[in-house]
């Protein structure tokens, strides 16, 4: 029996999908525990690029059972489109026998998307995530378990339609929700996904009793956590380790490994403070070479140097047992590398992440510099990784200055390195044996 948690250690977009895809080869179950289609994971297998939004990254392994967990908010229409695309590409219908939706997960409706579309401050994806979580906390949300009971409850439908329309009117949104429209939507959801709605927490508990391997996949990253992130520029869920088991309905004692995914530099999408952001040629270089555009929205990611202050905070919150470094190859070709080891803000020096958004907005990074290493083509990095894994060379396969860069990260954080990503392909990962 083994339960491994994969978490983003920065502001998301660290490359979690690629590692989940690799580890899923030895897993029986892969479960998402929070978020919705505001997340995007990309998996590259040879010439094929797979972009996922709701489906767990383990979908690429037909032996894996897949779960959309209790802590998620799910847009049924987006899920339907994603499943149809998967069927068109592969011929497989995962929801027939290996994809299950938690009966405790909440449903994103048209109303939630309309409300979310008003956001201008935080820089959300506008997918209805925040308003659905808001309804959940306000105890007026709709869960998959309850659809079969309320599709013929005209009083409930009337009350919810009135509530939604009062809110839409108060926000000066012209579109309204009709009772007939809401009823038809609920009927469609029930007819389309009723067969997949299960007590998935019980399923995972039974799997663990049978000594099966479970992989818990997080969305976003620690710095977008509603409690531990750069509030208010965060997502609407708990993205950290504490919610991993809770968000799929099993207890935390099951966790054996927590792998923090760390991009070799730092990126974030949307608004909010970013002390290490580079608005220069190096920032443009990282954006272009790293293809730093959001999987879900296509938005350009803001890029900057690696931030140890952020990673120390993330490790304290999550207790990583190891780190998976991604996109090391993107740094290749830069003459000098910088690593942020602290901030100066309002006359104060910080070596731990301040909670105040004002302090973070005024923070100036304190850097240490390291020599860069040569750039290689994607194929050269891929060949290097395959050779390294075949010979079990680990870190020693890298150029000497790349080795020193990784060793410095390991030393500063006190967490061993699990693997090093040197390209987008599934095989472009050097495993540390």
Residues 57 and 21: beta-carbon distance below 8 Å: yes
**Tokens representing 346?**
């309002």
Residues 264 and 330: beta-carbon distance below 8 Å: yes
The one catalytic residue in 21, 41, 112, 418 is: 41
* 41 labelled catalytic: yes
Closest CA to 323 of 238, 404, 410: 410
Which residues does 372 contact at the CB level (< 8 Å), separation at least 6?
331, 332, 333, 334, 335, 336, 337, 401
DSSP states of 106-154: EE--HHHHHHHTT--SS---SSSHHHHHHHHHTT---BGGGHHHHTT-H
| Rounded-to-integer distance, Cα 240 and Cα 392, Å | 32
* Cis status of the peptide bond prior to 61, with omega within 30 of 0: no
- Kindly report the number of other CB atoms within 10 A of residue 121's CB atom: 11
Q: Which residue has the tokens 């067969």?
A: 195
| Rounded-to-integer distance, Cα 417 and Cα 89, Å | 35
Q: At what angle do helices 179-193 and 154-170 cross, to 10 degrees?
A: 120
Burial (0-12, 13-18, 19+ Cβ within 10 Å), 106? buried
| Rounded-to-integer distance, Cα 225 and Cα 213, Å | 26
Closest CA to 56 of 250, 72, 2: 72
Residues 265 and 304: beta-carbon distance below 8 Å: yes
Burial (0-12, 13-18, 19+ Cβ within 10 Å), 167? middle
Residues 105 and 72: beta-carbon distance below 8 Å: yes
Q: What angle do CA 181, 184, 188 make, to 5 degrees?
A: 140
Which residues does 295 contact at the CB level (< 8 Å), separation at least 6?
13, 40, 41, 42, 51, 52, 53
Catalytic residues: 13, 41
């Amino acid at each position: 029996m083994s339960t491994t948690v994969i978490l983003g250690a920065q502001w998301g977009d660290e490359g979690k999908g690629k590692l989940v895809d690799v580890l899923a080869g030895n897993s029986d179950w892969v479960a998402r525990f929070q978020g919705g289609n505001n997340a995007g994971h990309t998996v590259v297998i040879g010439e094929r690029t797979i972009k996922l939004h709701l489906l767990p990254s383990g979908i690429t392994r037909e032996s894996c059972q897949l779960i959309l967990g209790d802590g998620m908010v799910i847009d049924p229409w987006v899920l339907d489109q994603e499943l149809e695309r998967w069927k068109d590409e592969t011929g497989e219908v995962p929801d027939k026998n290996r994809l299950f939706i938690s009966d405790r997960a909440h449903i994103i409706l048209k109303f939630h998307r309309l409300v979310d579309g008003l956001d201008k401050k935080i820089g959300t994806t506008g997918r209805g995530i925040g308003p659905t979580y808001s309804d959940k906390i306000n105890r007026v949300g709709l869960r998959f378990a309850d659809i079969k009971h309320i599709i013929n409850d005209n009083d409930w439908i009337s009350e919810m339609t009135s509530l939604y329309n009062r809110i839409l009117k108060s926000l000066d949104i012209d579109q309204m929700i009709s009772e007939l429209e809401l009823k038809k939507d609920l009927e469609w959801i029930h007819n389309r996904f009723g067969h997949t709605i299960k007590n998935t927490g019980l399923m995972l508990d039974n799997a663990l009793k049978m000594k099966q391997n479970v992989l818990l996949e997080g969305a976003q990253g620690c710095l977008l956590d509603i409690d531990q992130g750069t509030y208010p520029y965060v997502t609407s869920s708990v993205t950290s380790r504490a919610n991993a088991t809770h968000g799929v309905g099993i207890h935390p004692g099951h966790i054996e490994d927590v792998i923090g995914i760390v991009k070799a530099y730092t990126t974030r999408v949307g608004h909010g403070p970013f002390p290490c952001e580079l608005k220069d040629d190096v920032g443009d270089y990282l954006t272009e070479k790293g293809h730093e555009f959001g999987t879900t929205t296509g938005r350009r990611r803001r890029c900057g140097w690696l931030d140890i202050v952020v990673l120390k905070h993330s490790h304290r919150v999550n207790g990583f047992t190891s780190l998976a470094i991604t996109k090391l190859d993107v740094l290749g070709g830069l003459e000098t590398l910088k690593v942020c080891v602290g901030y100066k803000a309002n006359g104060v020096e910080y070596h731990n992440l301040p909670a105040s958004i004002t302090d973070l907005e005024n923070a100036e990074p304190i850097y240490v510099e390291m020599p860069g290493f040569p750039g290689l083509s994607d194929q050269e990095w891929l060949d290097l990784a395959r050779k390294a894994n075949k010979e079990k060379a680990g870190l020693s396969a890298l150029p000497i200055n790349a080795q020193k860069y990784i060793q410095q990260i390991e030393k500063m954080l006190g967490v061993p390195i699990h693997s090093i990503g040197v390209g987008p392909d599934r095989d472009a990962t050097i495993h540390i044996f």
